[in-house]
């Protein structure tokens, strides 16, 4: 893969340098975990923030080619990357905290219904948060935040039916999910704008269906965050490759989402996007 030289273009707490996300502590946002997944071997993946929240492979994920360096492929029973052996510092977001998660990924046809792409959640109505993927008949994603027995969930429509949001086009895509701490979940069907939380796909607003209006308590638990699968259900694994993941305390905006996606794409040859 041929990387283009990229100038250091800053957004609060995140930047690009050498073709990948970099960590910067300024602008009011705090990156609590940043994973390039560039180890291309072994069981551990380094937290590039220096916070020490190491990612640990479970049940034999496979190192594969990523967009920038290597990536991780965890398609198989119980396969995932757990972040830290305990509850890592900064990942237990309360319902009044603003936070967002950035992920660069490529998915494949098929797969099981509702596997966890990234999450820190118990099953059912227990508190936590997770990104769910359904690649098959529906080809959709969901961002779900649960606390106090109630949830807010933003579920996309079929992302293969629109040419500007086709997840099965063999290219790398940017998913950003966010929670703004207001605990007032809304969605405008005309503008596609969400309140309380939501998601961006390649810097754009997908059509979503919203379930819930608020959560009843903090989405905190004693479950380690995971990438590529779930520690709570062995069948919840992602059918795709993940490369570059950031967990950030701060407010996500449309401007930030567009800039992050544009910087990812500017860092590679367009044939490799």
User: How do residues 76-114 score in pLDDT, each as one tens digit?
Assistant: 778 889 997 666 668 889 999 999 999 998 887 655 555
Q: How is residue 256 written in tokens?
A: 């930030």
Q: Which of 197, 198, 212 is nearest to 148 (CA)?
A: 212
121's CB contacts (< 8 A; 6+ apart) are 127, 128, 129, 130, 144, 146, 219, 221, 223, 230, 232
Residue located via tokens 């820190």: 120
- Contact between residue 175 and residue 245 where contact means Cβ atoms under 8 Å apart: no
Give me the percent of the chain exceeding a pLDDT of 70: 77
User: What is the arithmetic mean of pLDDT over 213-226?
Assistant: 91
- Contact between residue 71 and residue 243 where contact means Cβ atoms under 8 Å apart: yes
pLDDT at 211: 95
pLDDT at 240: 83
Q: Is the pLDDT of residue 20 over 90?
A: no
Measured between its terminal Cα atoms, the distance across the chain in Å is: 10
pLDDT at 150: 94
Q: Is the pLDDT of residue 7 over 90?
A: no
Q: Which of 41, 40, 49 is nearest to 21 (CA)?
A: 49
The pLDDT mean for the chain works out to 80
pLDDT at 11: 43
Longest dimension (CA), the chain: 48
Q: What phi and psi values does residue 254 have, to the nearest 5 degrees?
A: -60, -40
User: What is the arithmetic mean of pLDDT over 36-45?
Assistant: 93
Residues of 142-168 as b/e, b for ≥16 C-beta within 10 angstroms? bbbbbbeebbbbbbbbbbbeeeebbbe
Q: Which of 239, 61, 265, 245 is nearest to 139 (CA)?
A: 239
For 227-248, the pLDDT digits (tens) are 987 777 666 777 788 989 999 9
Read off the pLDDT band of 140 (50, 70, 90). confident
Read off the pLDDT band of 138 (50, 70, 90). low
Strands 240-249 and 70-73: antiparallel
For 152-202, the pLDDT digits (tens) are 999 987 777 665 677 777 788 899 999 999 999 999 999 999 999 999 999
Model pTM?
0.87
pLDDT at 85: 60
> What CA–CA distance (Å, rounded) separates 50 from 1?
27
């Amino acid at each position: 893969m041929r990387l283009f030289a990229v100038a250091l273009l800053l957004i609060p707490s995140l930047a690009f340098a050498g073709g990948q996300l970099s960590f910067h502590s300024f602008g009011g946002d705090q990156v609590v975990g940043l994973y390039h997944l560039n180890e291309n071997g072994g069981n551990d993946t380094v937290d590039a923030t220096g916070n020490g929240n190491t990612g640990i492979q479970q049940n034999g994920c496979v190192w594969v080619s990523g967009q920038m360096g290597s990536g991780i492929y965890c398609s198989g029973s119980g396969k995932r990357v757990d972040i830290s052996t305990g509850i890592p510092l900064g990942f237990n977001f309360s319902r009044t905290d603003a936070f967002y998660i950035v992920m660069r990924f490529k998915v494949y046809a098929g797969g099981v219904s509702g596997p966890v792409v990234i999450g820190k959640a118990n099953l059912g109505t227990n508190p936590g948060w997770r990104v769910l993927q359904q690649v098959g008949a529906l080809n959709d994603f969901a961002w779900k935040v649960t606390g106090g027995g109630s949830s807010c969930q933003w579920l996309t429509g079929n992302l293969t039916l629109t040419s500007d949001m086709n997840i099965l086009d063999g290219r790398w895509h940017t998913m950003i999910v966010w929670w703004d701490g207001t605990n007032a979940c809304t969605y405008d069907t005309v503008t596609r704008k969400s309140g309380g939380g939501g998601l961006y796909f390649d810097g754009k607003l997908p059509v979503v269906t919203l379930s819930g209006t608020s959560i009843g308590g903090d989405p905190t638990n004693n479950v380690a965050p995971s990438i590529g699968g779930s520690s709570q259900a062995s069948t919840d694994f992602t059918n795709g490759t993940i490369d570059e993941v950031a967990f950030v305390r701060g407010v996500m905006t449309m401007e930030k989402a567009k800039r992050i996606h544009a910087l990812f794409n500017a860092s590679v040859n367009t044939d490799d996007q």
